[in-house]
Amino acid sequence: MDIKPVKQKTVTFQIMEQLKQLIVDGTLKPGDKMPNEYELADMFGVGRSTIREVLKIFQYMGVVELRNPKGTFICESSNISSEALEWSMLLGHKDFSEIIEMRIVMEQQGLWYLLDYRRDDKNLKEATIKKLQLEIEKMNAAVNRNDIEGRLNADYSFHGHIIEVCENSIFNNLYRTMKNFMVKEIADSQKDMEQLMAIPQRHEMLINALIEGDYTRAAETYRHHIRNIDQLLEEKIGKQ
């Protein structure tokens, strides 16, 4: 890639775009050491202060990592910060249904892995079901002692174990990012005691479908569960 002199307007943005292209075309790869400030300033024809600004942004995003005294290195994708996505979720309440859809896609992929793609892996299925059953025990205990945080954490971990089956770091990172946004919304939507008592039972229905090995039933049980959450949240948002 040929480095192009940048214009004074939106200098930082132009440099970031060109560095991004260097990664796209393979000139810079995860684990590679970045040129130092002097070299980058010379490459782009700008001052070192501008380069420091770019590197600070990339460091905050998790694109690069400063390793003193060795220098600055390109990070692996698993280190990429989820700040931008999290802020988008927090500020875009009207997009909640789209976030729910994204979660459905990830979790149904996990169900497909368990019951179809990796259906012969009995150890994976047994280990996953064991984890899920433990989370239900935690949910029941939390409901009985009116521990909202404990219940929500167990609920979120339950679904996280299904997504983990995909062994997809992007899915896992997205799900972790969604937690801070979704937990409060779900907590606000589930105030009725009868609803709270039914939550572990709904999760037990999903486990039963997994044990039977019926992907169609498991997927439908899961969709029904998520639709219930989505409906409660829509009712809550509509009252605001």
**Residues 96, 62: one domain?**
no
DSSP 125-155: HHHHHHHHHHHHHHHHHHHHTT-HHHHHHHH
**Residues 226, 162: one domain?**
yes
Tell me the per-residue pLDDT of 20-66, one tens digit each, with 9 for 90 and over. Answer: 889 888 899 989 999 999 999 999 999 999 999 999 988 887 889 88
pLDDT given for residue 6 in this prediction? 54
**Residues 134, 93: one domain?**
yes
- The CATH number of the domain holding residue 137 is 1.20.120.530
Element (DSSP H or E) covering residue 65? strand 64-67
Which residues are CB-contacts of 55 (< 8 A; sequence separation ≥ 6)? 34, 37, 64, 66, 72
Judge whether 159 and 108 are in contact, CB under 8 Å. no
pLDDT given for residue 239 in this prediction? 53
**Residues 104, 170: one domain?**
yes
- The CATH number of the domain holding residue 72 is 1.10.10.10
pLDDT given for residue 136 in this prediction? 95
4 within domain boundaries: no
With b meaning 16 or more CB within 10 Å and e meaning fewer, what string describes 91-102? eeeeebeebbee
How many Cβ atoms from other residues are within 10 Å of residue 29's Cβ? 9
Tell me if the pTM is above 0.85: no
Which of these three, 27, 50, 79, is where a domain ends?
Answer: 79
5 within domain boundaries: no
**Residues 152, 231: one domain?**
yes
pLDDT given for residue 232 in this prediction? 62
How many Cβ atoms from other residues are within 10 Å of residue 89's Cβ? 20
1 within domain boundaries: no
**Residues 16, 35: one domain?**
yes
The low-confidence residues of the chain, meaning pLDDT below 50, are none
Tell me the per-residue pLDDT of 57-79, one tens digit each, with 9 for 90 and over. Answer: 888 878 898 898 889 999 876 55
Helix (H, G, I), strand (E, B) or coil at 72: strand
**Residues 99, 73: one domain?**
no
53 within domain boundaries: yes
Query: What tokens were used for 146?
Result: 């009116």
**Residues 167, 228: one domain?**
yes
pLDDT given for residue 236 in this prediction? 55
**Residues 113, 54: one domain?**
no
Judge whether 228 and 195 are in contact, CB under 8 Å. no
Domain that holds residue 27: 11-79
How many domains is the chain built from? 2
C-alpha distances in Å from residue 60, one per residue of 11, 30, 64, 75, 83:
19, 16, 8, 12, 9
pLDDT given for residue 90 in this prediction? 63
145 within domain boundaries: yes
Peptide bond into 69 cis (omega under 30): yes
pLDDT given for residue 224 in this prediction? 82
Which of these three, 79, 96, 121, is where a domain ends?
Answer: 79
Phi-psi region of 198 (alpha: psi -120 to 50; beta: other; left: phi over 0): alpha
Which of these three, 79, 97, 132, is where a domain ends?
Answer: 79
119 within domain boundaries: yes
